[in-house]
């Protein structure tokens, strides 16, 4: 394929519109399963189907040796006490990593592996986080402005959202006394009890 260049505003974060970059928008209505407080989710949705996050992705063949990159923008907001966040995913090719570089705002990057080990990293402009192979990852906007990251991962990594729909993240990021706090997921505990394990 051909080399190409695109332009980002490093103060505001997002890449400019380009034939090389596709923009995806995720609204509340498409994110039913990720928030813990279902009552407030329904209430928020009935008021407005807000944009929770959006991202740009390049027009590049999803093949080994290629790289996918772009920017993700999570808008500020909460459902109940839980901050706006991405759906989160493992890579379909599990043993592939990802790099995040925060360009704007503040947030937390959550990670979790198949063994149930969780890690989290606080991010602000300039912080890079390495997601090693085999870790699911989700970004959370804990600030009052847009939280924007540049990301890069292998072109053949793909996405596995399903594993997280059934198991979910073991931790959630909620506002506690005006500050973001990483706490165990209630939904996950319910799931455990229902499953009889």
Q: Give the x/- contact pattern for its own copies in 4-43, rule: CB under 8 A.
A: xxxxxxx----x----x-----------------------
Q: What secondary structure does DSSP assign to 10-52, as a single string? A: TTT-PBPPBTTEEEEEEEGGG-TTT-S-HHHHHHHHHH---EE
Does residue 83 bind its own copies (CB under 8 A)? no
| Comparison of 133 and 143: residue with beta carbon closer to its own copies | 133
Q: How many CB atoms lie within 10 A of CB 3?
A: 4
| Comparison of 36 and 98: residue with beta carbon closer to its own copies | 98
Does residue 170 bind its own copies (CB under 8 A)? no
143 in Cβ contact with 106 (< 8 Å): yes
Query: 89: which 2 tokens?
Result: 């995913």
Closest CA relative to residue 74, chosen from 34, 43, 18: 34
Number of residues counted as binding its own copies (CB under 8 A)? 47
Residues that bind its own copies (CB under 8 A): 1-10, 15, 20, 58, 60, 64-67, 69, 93, 95-99, 101, 103, 109, 111, 119, 121, 123, 125-133, 135, 150, 152-155
């Amino acid at each position: 394929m051909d080399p190409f260049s695109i332009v980002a505003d490093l103060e505001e974060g997002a890449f400019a519109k380009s034939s090389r970059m596709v923009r995806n928008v995720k609204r509340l209505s498409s994110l039913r399963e990720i928030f813990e407080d279902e009552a407030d989710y329904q209430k928020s949705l009935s008021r407005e189907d807000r944009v929770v996050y959006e991202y740009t992705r390049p027009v590049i063949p999803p093949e080994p040796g290629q790289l996918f990159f772009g920017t993700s923008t999570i808008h500020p907001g909460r459902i109940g006490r839980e901050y706006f966040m991405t759906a989160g995913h493992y890579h379909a090719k599990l043993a592939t990593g990802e790099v995040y570089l925060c360009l704007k705002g503040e947030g937390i990057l959550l990670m979790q592996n198949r063994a149930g080990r969780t890690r989290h990293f606080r991010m602000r402009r300039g912080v890079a986080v390495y997601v090693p192979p085999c870790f699911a990852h989700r970004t959370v906007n804990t600030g009052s402005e847009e939280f924007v990251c540049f990301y890069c991962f292998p072109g053949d990594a793909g996405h596995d959202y399903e594993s997280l729909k059934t198991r979910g993240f073991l931790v959630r990021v909620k506002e506690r006394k005006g500050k973001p706090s990483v706490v165990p997921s209630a939904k996950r505990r319910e799931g455990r009890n229902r499953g009889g394990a």
